[in-house]
Amino acid sequence: MWRRSFSTTAATASRSLTDRKWDALVIGGGHNGLTAAAYLARSGLSVAVLERRHVIGGAAVTEELIPGFKFSRCSYLQSLLRPSIIKELELARHGLKLLKRNPSSFTPCVDGRYLLLGSDGELNHSEISKFSTRDADAYPRYEKQLESFCASVMDPLLDSAPPESSPSESLSFNDRFRDKMHKSVFWARFSRQALSLGQKDLVDFMDLLVSPASKVLNNWFESDVLKATLATDAVIGSAISVHTPGSGYVLLHHVMGETDGDRGIWSYVEGGMGSVSLAISNAATEAGAHIATNAEVLKLLLSDSGSVNGVLLADGTQVLSSIVLSNATPHKTFMDFVPENVLPDDFVRAVKYSDYSSATTKLNLAVDKLPQFQSCKLNHPEAGPQHVGTIHIGSESMEEIDLACQDAVNGVPSRRPVIEMTIPSVLDKTISPPGKHVINLFVQYTPYKPSDGSWEDPTYRESFAQRCFSLIDEYAPGFSSSIIGYDMLTPPDLEREIGLTGGNIFHGAMGLDSLFLMRPVKGWSNYRTPIQGLYLCGSGAHPGGGVMGAPGRNAAHVVLQDVKK
């Protein structure tokens, strides 16, 4: 299941890809590429997905790297996958099973205290009151405001292409008229929804967008442990500090997603995150899409007029189509796949100098027992509530998170890393042997090129891994001795193995200068590119990173609009 191969041999794959000219090709079998393929195939187009690796899924992949232990190797939680995609592609019928987590968060403290948070309002009030009664009263209002911002402003933006200006010289009068009407309707609807917030909330929303997360959280709360626990949502996967302007926006991801209609609830996926990609691929293949693994794209093929004519694979095979969607990063797409001297100079500069920096390392562990946190006296023979959600290690204050970031700014991995630990095998019994567990460690901050060593040095890598394990030992004595084996993906590994430029899990930074009409670059936010027939459908396009599928779905709709024209 986790290493499912759709093309059994290279010869078979080559014949099946070259025996026709496809209506559309998709470069990359990550969840967005598969989503785009599913929608295109359901609309009657002949579609082929070309995946470089032996396994589909991209960053949403499950791999059995240690016998009996199945790791969600990169992404590890689900909440952002758009409800429209789950419903329209019937992903539950295709095998998607979500396992809700409650409590959703556990933060142990070295002084013997701890904080549990979840969807239970009474639990949250009781837990936060251990640190501040004022904060316990404020927390429901904080969550309600973020939910209001998401429902009124964010949700409508996620499921549609940005209203990008189209070059008028390439359109007929009727097309220009329809284009203007479409944009007028979009902005009128958006303005109406934004204004429904009221002036105070609208100002608060603007403040959230541009402010550092530290300012937002300091305005709401007083207890360090609560602010730090929430602040991790603002910096996750980014090379930024809690004091970076604009980091407040990412707090919206705390409640932006949902599980089975419950806003802000994150879940594990039975079988690991690869099951998300597998369910989408099942929907795509049922609709007629062809998915080929071990099919690495080397270059785009262009016609004499400069439009897309297909792709050249690394083995020399030419696969023909006048439409290509790239699920690769913008940098990989335009700097590697597109022949030189084809794109406009200003476009090339914008793509080349976009922010692809990363400070993230993923550690996947196989352990023979659950960690026992000395601060949590909940004595359970097996898993307790402290093991169910995200466990925040080294995040007892925002200052602690900022110090970890400053180490990376100075060129070295954090001396006390910020670690988000999850133990999906507590709820998912399909991914580890009985009595043993799978543990994910999402670690920050690790520079792409450390100044004090190299990630290519096995000793240096092992030293940092042991630094992470020793930090966990401070909260759960004996944790290190439970480790059977582990897999480690530093930023260069994420680039090499998964194809993430710079190791950036979002295909590019999610700052305010890289969102909506500015993503991937100004003037090209609607999935089209300067090359006729080439589209972006990955996380480097609107609305950005995370396992949400929205870029793939939106891009497919834009392609279908163009096909109809």
What is d(CA 18, CA 313) in angstroms, rounded to the nearest whole number? 11
- Taking 50 as the pLDDT cut, the residues of the chain under it are 1-9
Return the residue matching tokens 């024209």.
565
pLDDT digits 0-9 by tens, 196-252: 888 888 899 999 989 999 999 999 999 999 999 999 989 988 889 999 998 888 888
Q: For residue range 413-424, what is the model confidence (pLDDT) as tens digits?
A: 999 999 999 999
Last residue of a domain, one of 205, 235, 259: 259
d(CA 109, CA 474): 10
> Which two tokens mark 202?
């609208």
Backbone angles phi, psi at 132, to 5 degrees: -165, 120
CB 295 within 8 A of CB 318: no
Residue 450, domain member (yes or no): no
Query: pTM of the entire structure?
Result: 0.94
Identify whether residues 147 and 197 lie together within a single domain.
yes
Q: Do residues 164 and 90 both lie within one domain?
A: no
Measure the CA–CA gap between 422 and 368, rounded to whole angstroms: 15
Q: Do 151 and 86 share a structural domain?
A: no
d(CA 98, CA 385): 18
* Residues 6+ away with beta carbon under 8 Å from 312: 297, 298, 299, 300, 301, 318
Residue 161 lies in a domain: yes
Of residues 376, 397, 385, 382, the one with CA closest to residue 119: 385
Sheet with strand 105-108: strands edge to edge: 114-117, 105-108, 390-393, 418-422, 437-444, 360-367, 483-489
**Do 126 and 225 share a domain, yes or no?**
yes
- Label each residue of 129-176 as H, E or C: HCCCHHHHHHHHHHHHHHHHHHHHHHHHHHCCCCCCCCCHHHCCHHHH
34: nearest Cα among 17, 2, 64, 58? 58
Q: What torsion do the CA atoms of 522, 523, 529, 532 make, to the nearest 10 degrees?
A: -160
- CA distances for 506 relative to 408, 427, 543, 544, angstroms: 19, 27, 10, 6
1 is written with which tokens?
């299941």
The CATH number of whichever domain residue 278 belongs to comes to 3.50.50.60
Does residue 445 have a cis bond before it (omega within 30 degrees)? yes
In the chain, what is the greatest distance between 2 CA atoms, to the nearest angstrom? 72
Do 130 and 162 have their domain in common? yes
Structure tokens at 457: 């040095």
Instruction: Give residue 93's pLDDT.
Output: 97
Mark residue 527 as left, alpha or beta (left: phi above 0; alpha: psi -120 to 50; beta: remaining): left
29 is a domain residue: yes
For residue 46, tell me if it sits in a domain. Answer: yes
- Of 259, 288, 322, the position where a domain reaches its end is 259
Distance from C-alpha of 162 to C-alpha of 38, rounded to nearest angstrom = 21
Q: Is residue 500 part of a domain?
A: no
137 and 234, same domain (yes or no): yes
Number of domain units in the chain: 2
Q: What is d(CA 168, CA 165) in angstroms, rounded to the nearest whole number?
A: 8
Residues 168 and 292 in one domain: no
- Full strand arrangement of the beta sheet holding 318-320: 297-302, 308-313, 318-320
Q: Same structural domain for residues 191 and 217?
A: yes
Name the residue range of residue 140's domain. 121-259
Taking alpha carbons only, the member of 372, 259, 312, 223 closest to residue 14 is 312
Q: Terminal CA-to-CA distance of the chain, rounded, Å?
A: 40
Model pLDDT, residue 565: 82
Q: Interhelix angle for 274-286 vs 31-42, to 10°?
A: 20
Domain finish residue from 235, 259, 283? 259
335 found inside a domain: yes
> Both 255 and 347 in a single domain?
no
CA distance linking residue 89 with residue 218, whole number of Å: 42
Give the Cα separation of 489 and 469 in Å (integer).
15
Residues 131 and 255 in one domain: yes
Co-location of 184 and 213 in the same domain: yes
The reported pLDDT for the residue numbered 164 is 87
What span, in angstroms and rounded, lies between the C-alpha atoms of 462 and 547? 29
Residue 168 lies in a domain: yes
Q: Does a structural domain hold residue 399?
A: no
Report how far residue 91's alpha carbon sits from residue 86's, in angstroms, rounded to the nearest whole number. 5
Query: Do both 245 and 149 map to the same domain?
Result: yes
Crossing angle for the helix pair 121-129 and 133-149, to the nearest 10 degrees: 140
**Confidence at residue 562, expressed as pLDDT on a 0 to 100 scale:** 94
What is the rounded CA–CA span in Å between residue 89 and residue 287? 10
